[in-house]
Structures are given as C-alpha cells and as structure tokens.
Structure 1
Amino acid sequence: MRNWAGKLLAVAQRDASVLLITTVATALVRLASSVVLTRLLAPDVFGIVGIITTIIMFLTLMTDFGFQPFVVRHHRGDDPNFLNVIWTIHAARGVVLAAIAGGSAGAVAWILDKPALQLPLMAASMTLLVNGLASMSLIALIRAGRVSAISFFDLGMVVLQTIMAIILAAMLHSVWAIIAAMILQSIVRALLSYILFGRSIRKPSWDWSIWDEFRPFSWIIMKSSALFLLVTQLDKVALARLLSLHDFGLYTVAASLSTVPGLFAYAYGSRILYPRYSRALREDAAVAPEAYYADRRLISRLYSFATGALVTSAPALVSLLYDPRYAEAARYLSILAVSGMLLLSNIAASEYLTASGRVVSGLRANQLRVAWICSAGAAGYFLIGTLGVVLAIGFMEVVPLIYFWLVLRRQGVLNWSQEALQLGLSLLGLAAGSAASIGYFAATTLLLQR
C-alpha cells in the first residue's frame, strides 16, 4: 500500500510541476498582453470585452452538461461510439448557444445601455459555434493523465491569441482587435484538436442508453454551474449596468489579474486532482483519504503564500505594470484577490467529493455562494455603493470553505493541522506582500526625489 501511495504521489508531483510551469507561463503571457494592450487601447475597450466575456461565460455555464467529468470517470470513456454520442451533444449545444448570443446582441446592448456592444457581441458569438465543433481529444488527454500535453497545448493557444491581439491592436486601435483574435484562436484550437491528436475524428451518432445515463449526471452539474455562474458573473452583470465603460474597464483589468490564481487552481483541480482522486477511489478507497492532502501538500502551501502576497501587493503591482489611467484598478484587485487565497482548498474538496460520488456537494457549495453574494452584495451596495458589491465578491469563498470542512470531517478526511498551516501561510503572504508594496513605493519616492 505504501509503495502504491508513493508512486501516486510521485506522478502527481511531476504533473503538478508541469501544470505549475505552464500556468505561470500563461499568467506571464496574459500579464504581458494586458500591459501592452492597455497602452494600445482605451479602458472603454476592456469594458466592452469584459461584458462580452461575461455573456459568453453566462451561456456556457448555464448549459454546462459536465462533458469532461462524465467522460473522465466513465468506464466507456475510451469507446469511439460513446465519444461520438457525447460529441454530438457537444456540437449541438455550440450551435444553439451561438444562435442565442448572436440573436440577442441587440437586446443585451439596449438593456445595458451600451450601444457599442451590439456588433462585437454578434461577432464574438462565433466562438461558441467553433468551440462546440472541437474534438473530444482534449478531454481524452485528461482522462489518460496526459497533463503535459493539454497544458502545453493550452499555453500555445494563449500565446497565439496574445500575439494576434497585439498585432491587430497596433493596426486597428479598437475593440475589433481583441474580438478578431478571439475568433481566430477558437478556429485554430478546434482544427488542432483534430490534427495533433490521434483517433480524434468524431461523427454524429446517437444512443439513448448513453443519453439516459448522461442526463441525470449533467442535470446536477448544470445546476451547480448555473449557481457558480451567478457567483462569478453576477457582480459583472450588475456593475456593467451601474458603471461607465471606463470604470468597468478598470474593474475588468483588476478582475483579470485576480483570476490568475484561479487559472492554476481550477486546472490543477480538474486535470490532476480529480483524475487522481477518481483513480484512488476506484483502486483502493481505504487509502483515498490519505491522497486528499498528499497529492497537493507542497502545491497548497506555495499557493497559500503567493495568493496572500497578491492581496497586499496589489497597489505596487498595478503601479508597476500600468500607466496612471489604470491606477484605480489596484483597489479592486486587493479586494478580489482575497477569494483566491481560499479557492484551491475549496476546489480540492469539491473534486474529491465529486470523485467519491457526492456530486451534490458542489451544488450545495454554490448555493451557499449565491446566498452570500445576494445578501452580502445587496447589503454592501446599500451601505457603501458599488464597492460593497466588490467586497462581497472578495470574501465569498469563506462560507463554502466552512461547509467543505464540515462535510470532509463527516467523511473522516479533514486534517485540521493541514488546514491551519495553509491559512497561516496565507497570513504570512499578506505580511510579505505588504512589506513588498511599502518597499516599492518608498524606493519609487526616493528615485523621484533624486
């Protein structure tokens, strides 16, 4: 048993290293893109793109059938006929979503009182159609544990979109640069999903037995994702109406920076932890609780410290990266980054419980998030205005963390010392980030005086 656990830990650490490297590289590329594009484009452009991203996210999550977890955990996940049926559902969903996004563009622009939004949204809806037609090979890579392949593939797509966006922004100086880059990237991604990976060609097919099995699973996932959508996008929907395009652009820039830890946390959870937990539970459920912390011990500690530092170093970071037009984004970033400190723990708990068959736990956690954001967000807005909504978003992971602690404790999985250590490292990160920010501004002041 110890030998088996040791091998599992070694593989998990290797995959985690690859994922960490590619996630850091992705974050650096996106950061470079943000720095360059904010010098080529006005804040209004990022306001429009932020709204479009929210709408696409809204449609995607409202119809999240759980394709990836269903295929990864299913015993027929390698069967061509099974994959054909799932691909057929996936493609049909993409066609419907593209039609909805494009057809409602005018109404959305009118409701939000943002006329400049209509045409870009109509064009961006094509990404939903193209993504729906992509191969199942990317999910198959996750099932097979080929974390390196999917991680480097995703990194390549980010680099490609960044290069296209910068080139087009230098030529067009308008929102169309980013929209065109989004469309081109989705086309290239879909094509490469067939070209680069073997046995990836799919054809329309149907099997009622697969659908009957997929439907109840997808219904639970869809409800959970719909609630997750409200949690992550409700603030943007509200603020898109309340703020000007300029101010919403600042919020979008801050939100983009604050999601960097989430890029790693969600990828780490779905691509490494979920497959590992699923395999551990299938092969020897008795040792699975040991894998809950063992598979992520070092990563969790580094993550906790780094995310804590991001909260308090936000003013220095924004000052260093952006011109004075974007200075107000620092306030938003400091608040939004708080939720990132707790995110990895919550994702790990959700993935473990889902792998063990307790899919409803993710739904319950999202219900708590929605209840928090609606109550705390409304109270915050009543007391201090739009900043109150942002504060509610920043602290939304506290309630689900407590919920997951209770559930894991009942399952005999929770280790209080491990949880306390992670929180302690977050506090240490807060102190380190604060010291770094103070040092940065002190050094800047001295240089200006000279």
Structure 2
Amino acid sequence: MRNLSRRISGILSDRESLRGKILASAALSTMVFAMQVVARIVSTIILTRILTPEIFGVFAVVMTFIFILEMFSDLGVRSLILTKEGELDDGFLRSCWTAQILRGILIFFVCILLAFGIAWGQGTHLFPAQSSYGDVTLPLAIAAIGGVSIIGGFASPAKFVYEREMKFRQVSVETLITLVLTTVITIALAFWLRNIWALVLGNLARAFFMVVLSYVMFTGPTMRLSWNFADFRLIIERGKWIIGHSALTAVITMADRFVFGFAMSASSFGFYYIARQIVDMVEMFLNAIHAQMGLQVFTELQKDGEPATLRRRYYRYRVLFDGLSMFGAGALMTFAPTLVHIIYDDRYADVAGMIQILAVGLILIGPGLLREAYSAQRRFREMTMLSLVRAATVWIGLVVAIWGFGSVTAALYVVALHRIPETIILLRMGRGEGWVSLLHEIRLIPLLPVGAAVGWGMAQAWAAIA
C-alpha cells in the first residue's frame, strides 16, 4: 500500500511539473512574442518607408527558395535530439553538428545553381518582366542567401538539449537578443543601401548571431567533426521520414508564394508578403509555444495510455491556442484597414483587404495541433497522408483559382481555407482514437465575434482620436 501511495504521489508530482513547465513556457513565449511584435511593427514602419513594395516582392521570392531548400534537406536534428531514447552522449551531438554543416554546404551550392538557372530564364525572357522573377537582382540575392545555411550549420546543438530538458528561459533570452540585434542592423542597412541587400544582409547577420549565441549561452561539449557510422545511420534512418514530411510542408507553405510570384506584379506580391507577415503574427506566437514544447507535451500525455485522459489534458492544453486564434481572426477582420492606415503609407492600402481574407484561416490552427500526437508516436504514415491531402488541396485550389477563374481573390481564400480537408480527416482519425470531442472543438467559436467586436471598437476609437 505504501509503494502504491508513492507511485501515485510520483505521478501527480510529474503532472504538476509538466503543467508548471507548460505555464512557464507560455509566459516566456508571450514575452518573446510581444517583443517580436514590437520589433516587427517598428521595422515594418521604417522599412516600408525606405524600401519600395517591389523590393519586398523580390525578397519574398528569395525567402521562398531558401525555405524550400532547407525543408527539402531537413534531417530533423532538433527532433532527433528531443525524442532520442536514453541519455545524449557528446559523440551523438557532434555527429548532429557535422550533419548540419554538410547540409548547409549542400544548400549553398544548390542556391548557386538556382541563381544561374534564373539568370538564364531572365535572359531568354522566360519570366514576365513585371513579376518578381524578372527582377535583375533576384539571381545574385538567391546565391547570397545560401550563405545563411552555411553559417547556421555551425550552430551548437546544445540549444536543443536545453529544449529537451524544457529549460526555456535561456532559449527565450537567446531569441530576444538575436531579434533585437537583427532588427537594428537590418534597419541600419536599409538606411544605408535602400535596396534588397539590406534584407539579405540582415538575414546573414541573424544567422551569425544565432551561431555565436549558441556557444555563449548554452553549455555543451566542444564541437568537432565526427563521422560515427552508427550515429549517422540513426540520423538518416529517422531523418528520411522527417525529410519527407518537411518537404511536403515546404510544398504546402510556399505554394502561395510560388504561384503568386508568377501571377502578381512585383508590387502586388510585395503587398501579399506584408499581409502574410501581419496575419502570421498570431500563428507565429502560437507556433512558438507549440514548437517549443508540443512534441514533449504529447509524449508525456500519451504515457498514461488512456484515451480519455489524453483527451481531457489535450483540450486543456489547447485552450490558449483556440482562444487566441479565434479572437485574433475576428479582430483582424474588422481592424485590418485601420491597422494598415496606422502602420503604412498610402502606397500599401491594398494590404488591408488581403489581411481580412487571410485572417479567416486562423480559426483552423487549433485542430491541427493533434498532428503532434502522431508525431510523438512516430506514426509517420498518418502524418505523410495528412500532408499529401493538404498539399493537393492548396496546389489544386491555387491553380484553379488563378488560371481557371483568373481570380486572385479566390486564390486568397484558397490560402486561408486550404486546411479544411486535412482538418476534417484529422478530426475523424482523432475521434476514432478516442482523442477528439466535437463539442470541445466548437466551444470557443464565440470568441470569433467577440474579437470582431473588439477590432471594430478599436477602429472606431482610433477614428475618433485621429
């Protein structure tokens, strides 16, 4: 009886510890997010007055290519370190570091090849002259952005060990320092250069700061190249699934930027890039919390083995995500025109309508968190299937909207709502597992009109003041 009491006490203590770590992570993520919002607003106000919309359109294409390359080569070093069974030895961390460096070199050389290919396409008039792909600075900018991957590859994986142990304070401080330094340098470069190179060099500076801070702020073994066959076999064996999932994520995430880069003029594409940045602030905050500890949380939740227990604790975890996404969607739908008027000059007025449409998609963030339950169980088949459904939805939808109906507005709604088929399948699967309650899925929908009312009230208050 005494042993049973001790076991129950230990379980309750573990649960309280996990809850405390979740609350601490949420508090830290909120602080980091607030700083990111302030930095983004300040930099946006300044940069949009120094740089033209066309520059943002071309830079969006640059970031599209580097994101796709990084995702298609993603070995999932972070995920491997977070989920590896047993203790982490120094040799394994050095093998991960070596893999990162090799990946960075590969990405850089592919960027060079892409730059030559785009330059050739421009010379043969393959791209519309008014599109971002027709800009003469694009090839060299893509080649230069490849340096981000080379620099970033030298970052110490000790940071991921801190995340594995849920020591998020150090991670948050590192993020804030990098954010402040990058913002200041990018703005300074924009005043000096007044072209796309301010944004490119700002990203190179960010990678450099992250590498330096990974050694200064996180204690770990001395890094050196390691060629341990057993470690590389594990990295490749598990990484191949992560590469497939990450590649599909890239295909999904960048579909809009790839298609709109061709279908829109450089200035309109710049408007879209800015609108996505604003809407993504809400999702960025929620993802910052979830990405920081979502995998660890679901791994802990599933240790009990009881679907009813997982379901109860899962929806408790989701309250913050559902509440903010519903409220944020409603607020942006009504406050977007005023927000754009406050932040930007008259050249950027078209951004408001794009924000209002894209904000609708925020309501689908919450149900998507259930994917992490399958990730924690290493059920890669289900994850791959869900990603394929989402990829097919967004690509087919965009192609039909742009080249079938010739409607950019319809394409914007596709971007906002393309998660619906995946969400339906995910909820059906989760209900079959006993993880999903349909009543809990809709319980916070009333926050959508509440957010809209608050956004409308803020707009009216600003109009009265101005």
Closer, same or farther in 2 for the Cα pair 1:296/1:3, shift >3 Å?
farther
Deviations 1:314-366, CA, capped at 9 Å, x for gaps: 222111111000010111111222222222431x2111221123233332222
Matches of 2:414 and 2:456, distance apart in 1? 22
Give 1:55 deviation, angstroms. 0.9
Matched, 1:133 2:154: yes
Q: TM-score, normalised by structure 2?
A: 0.89
Structure 1 CA distance for aligned equivalents of residues 310 and 34 of structure 2: 29
Equivalent residue for 2:356, pick from 316, 334, 339: 334
* 1:94 paired residue among 90, 104, 117: 104
- Are residue 203 (structure 1) and residue 213 (structure 2) matched? no
Corresponding residue to 1:39 among 22, 35, 49: 49
Structure 1 residues 51-60 or 286-295, which shifts more?
A: 286-295
Cα distance in 2 for residues equivalent to 1:32 and 1:359 = 41
CA separation in 2, counterparts of 1:53 and 1:305? 29
CA-to-partner distance for each residue in 1:415-445, whole Å, 9 max, x for gaps?
Answer: 22321113332343234334544x257537x
1:375-397 C-alpha deviation (Å, 9 max, x unpaired)? 22222222242232222101112
Query: In the alignment, does 2:215 pair up with 1:215?
Result: no
Give distance in 1, aligned partners of 2:379 and 2:294.
15
Higher mean alpha-carbon deviation, 316-325 vs 19-28, is at 19-28
Q: Is the 8 A contact 2:389 2:421 kept in 1?
A: yes
Q: Indicate if the aligned counterparts of 2:334 and 2:456 stay in contact, CA closer than 8 A.
A: yes
The answer on whether the counterparts of 1:71 and 1:143 sit within 8 Å (CA) in structure 2 is yes
TM-score normalised to structure 1 length: 0.92
Give the fraction of aligned pairs with identical amino acids, expressed as a percent: 23
- Given residue 403 of structure 1, which amino acid in structure 2 is its aligned partner? I
> Counterparts of 1:395-410 in structure 2 under 5 Å?
395-410=417-432
Q: Is the 8 A contact 2:286 2:321 kept in 1?
A: no
Distance 1:311 1:66, change over 3 A: farther
Deviations 1:123-177 (A, max 9, x none): 2211111011211022112111012221221122121111001111112212221
Flag structure 1 segments of 5+ consecutive residues without an equivalent: none
- Please give the secondary structure, in 2, of the residue aligned with 1:75: coil
* Counterparts of 1:443 and 1:106, CA distance in 2: 54
Match of 2:210 among 178, 185, 189: 189
Q: Report the counterpart of residue 162 of structure 1 in structure 2.
A: 183
Deviation, structure 1 residue 310: 1.9
CA drift of 1:69 comes to 1.4
1:103 and 2:113 matched: yes
Are 2:436 and 1:414 aligned? yes
Stretch of structure 1 that moved more, 188-197 or 287-296? 287-296
- Give the equivalent residue in structure 2 for 1:310: 332
CA contact (8 A) 1:254 1:332 kept: yes
Identify unmatched segments of 5+ residues in structure 2: 1-10, 128-132
- Change in Cα spacing, 1:298 to 1:267, as seen in structure 2 (3 Å) is closer
Whether 1:392 aligns to 2:414 is: yes
Aligned-partner Cα distance in 2 for 1:418–1:345: 10
CA distance in 2, matches of 1:106, 1:129: 19
* Residue of structure 1 equivalent to 2:264: 243
Q: Secondary structure at the match of 2:74?
A: coil
Aligned length: 442
Range that drifts further, 148-157 or 53-62: 148-157
Mapped to 2, the partners of 1:272 and 1:415 lie a distance apart of 23
Greater alpha carbon shift after TM alignment, 146-155 vs 35-44: 146-155
Worse-superposed segment, 377-386 or 157-166: 377-386
**Which of residues 229, 233, 237 is equivalent to 2:250?**
229
Are 1:285 and 2:305 matched, yes or no?
yes
Q: Does 1:259 align with 2:269?
A: no
State whether residues 161 and 182 of structure 1, in contact with CA within 8 Å, keep that contact through their aligned partners in structure 2: yes
One-letter amino acid of the counterpart of residue 292, structure 2: R
Equivalent residue runs for 1:262-273 within 5 Å? 262-273=283-294
Q: Contact 1:230–1:370 (CA<8 Å) still a contact in 2?
A: yes
